[in-house]
């Protein structure tokens, strides 16, 4: 039997997981450029595409953002416990709302120019920028939260989390034995993914491939709010039962991994059949949503389990990834597009182009972090402190 992990105040396993998921965004957004089908909301496509990029994007998408929202809910509760609700909200305002506002103003023009330059390469083959035309109603494309849509939604989820915590304290929900047992079951029982997948099926089955298509505008659809709020609220519940749950996740890490891979493989098979013969599978979007949602939850539990089991200590390399991850998250997206624009007409294998884009984006992120952020006021603004 596994020894129960000795969780520290910092929850290093979860810090490490958050950092790795942030950095994985580089691989995710570069791979999208080489997928064989349009991926909302990013419609840019390289001349060299690959089904492997499709699989990679679908696989990462199944767990990356869900893990983010789970950890966000967990740390909201941790901050509220340590500092109180008002201080938690003040902290989230300083670390999420203010950086979002500041960097959106800085990055929106840069990202827009990079995006338009890539579109020009796709349509004309050369270098240039063509401003988007108004549609028949006279409207142009709306302002967009870009890749920072996660921060935008998280601002509102933090307010929701504060309201939930206040209501829980006032009405004493968890003191009700039956409610407490139900919540504990949704966090700790092996069958929890089956129950948790049901709401996601309802939100995702309306999409053709059974997967929520991310909307990066400032008014995303209700389905997106419901989809990710489930992960956030579950992360809050995870904090309540953290000692028992994280130990169980570590024990079940292998089975969760195998089940996650199995469900995702079934999803890939169904998706392939549906693409080849759309009428062959009755209620295809529902079945696709079933297996993708089940895979998503199992993979989230697997990541939590593996990191708790192997990486609960402070590890210098992973600590560096975690410390730099906020800057990398903000900066990487326009870089992947700019570098993709440069590589666009190069007739090389998709894998090679992906690797080079990831390499150069990572290099710029690390160098800029070292020179401009780690020991400067920008680092204090983002992380609350300077690092030596």
For residue 260, give Cα distances in angstroms to 15, 17, 70, 87, 315. 23, 18, 17, 38, 27
Query: Do residues 386 and 375 make contact, with C-beta atoms less than 8 angstroms apart?
Result: yes
User: How crowded is residue 269: how many other Cβ atoms within 10 Å of its Cβ?
Assistant: 11
pLDDT digits (tens, 9 = 90+) for 105-152: 999 999 999 999 999 999 888 888 887 754 444 444 568 899 999 999
pLDDT for residue 1 is more than 50: no
What is the predicted pLDDT for the residue at 142? Answer: 66
Cis peptide before 168 (omega within 30 of 0): no
> What SS3 state is found at 42?
strand
pLDDT digits (tens, 9 = 90+) for 157-166: 999 999 999 9
Write down the pLDDT at residue 174. 60
State both tokens at 38.
């349009």
> What is the per-residue pLDDT for 8?
42
Angle, in degrees to the nearest 10, between helices 242-251 and 177-188:
30
The answer, yes or no, to whether the previous bond of 319 is cis (omega within 30 of 0) is: no
> Is residue 70 a contact partner of residue 238, using CB atoms and an 8 Å limit?
yes
Looking up tokens 């730099």 gives 324
Residue carrying structure tokens 């201080």 = 87
Give the residue ranges of DSSP H helices in 84-175: 85-92, 98-124, 149-171
Does the structure show a pLDDT above 90 at 192?
yes
Span 300-316, average pLDDT: 93
Per-residue CA distances from 145 to 152, 226, 280 (Å): 7, 18, 38
Vertex 91 angle, CA 89 and 96, to 5°: 90
Answer positive or negative: Cα dihedral of 187, 192, 193, 197: negative
The model's pTM? 0.92
Rounded CA separation 251/121 (Å): 50
Report the pLDDT averaged over residues 364-384.
94
- In this structure, what token pair is assigned to residue 369? 């972090």
Res. 155: pLDDT tops 50: yes
Note the pLDDT of residue 168: 83
Distance, CA of 60 to CA of 22 (rounded, Å) = 12
362: burial class by Cβ within 10 Å (0-12, 13-18, 19+)? middle
User: pLDDT of 355-373, one tens digit each?
Assistant: 999 999 999 999 999 999 9
């Amino acid at each position: 039997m596994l020894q129960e992990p000795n969780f520290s105040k910092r929850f290093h396993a979860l810090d490490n997981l958050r950092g790795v998921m942030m950095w994985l965004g580089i691989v995710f957004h570069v791979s999208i450029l080489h997928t064989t089908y349009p991926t909302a909301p990013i419609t840019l496509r390289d001349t060299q595409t690959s089904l492997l990029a499709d699989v990679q994007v679908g696989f990462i998408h199944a767990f990356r953002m869900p893990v983010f929202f789970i950890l966000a809910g967990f740390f909201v509760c941790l901050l509220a416990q340590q500092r109180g609700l008002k201080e938690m909200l003040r902290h989230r305002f300083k670390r999420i709302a203010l950086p979002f506002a500041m960097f959106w103003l800085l990055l929106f023009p840069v990202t827009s120019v990079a995006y338009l330059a890539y579109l020009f390469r796709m349509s004309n083959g050369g270098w240039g920028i063509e401003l988007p035309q108004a549609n028949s109603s006279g409207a142009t494309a709306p302002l967009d939260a870009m890749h920072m849509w996660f921060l935008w939604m998280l601002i509102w989820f933090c307010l929701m989390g504060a309201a939930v915590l206040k209501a829980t304290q006032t009405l004493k929900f968890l003191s009700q034995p039956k409610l407490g047992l139900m919540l504990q079951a949704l966090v700790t029982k092996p069958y929890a993914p089956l129950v948790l997948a049901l709401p996601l099926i309802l939100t995702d089955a309306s999409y053709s491939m059974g997967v929520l298509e991310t909307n990066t505008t400032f008014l995303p659809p209700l389905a997106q709010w419901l989809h990710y709020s489930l992960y956030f609220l579950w992360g809050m519940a995870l904090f309540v039962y953290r000692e028992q749950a994280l130990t169980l996740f570590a024990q079940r890490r292998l089975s969760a991994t195998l089940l996650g891979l199995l469900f995702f493989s079934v999803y890939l098979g169904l998706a392939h059949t549906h693409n080849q013969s759309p009428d062959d599978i009755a209620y295809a979007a529902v079945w696709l949503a079933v297996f993708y949602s089940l895979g998503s939850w199992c993979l989230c539990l697997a990541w939590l389990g593996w990191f708790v089991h192997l990486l609960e200590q402070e590890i210098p390399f992973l600590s560096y990834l975690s410390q730099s991850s906020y800057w990398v998250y903000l900066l990487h997206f326009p870089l992947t597009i700019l570098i993709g624009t440069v590589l666009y007409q190069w007739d090389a294998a998709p894998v090679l182009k992906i690797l080079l884009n990831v390499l150069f984006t990572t290099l710029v992120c690390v160098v800029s972090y070292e020179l401009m952020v780690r020991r400067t006021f920008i680092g204090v603004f983002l992380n609350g402190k300077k690092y030596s």
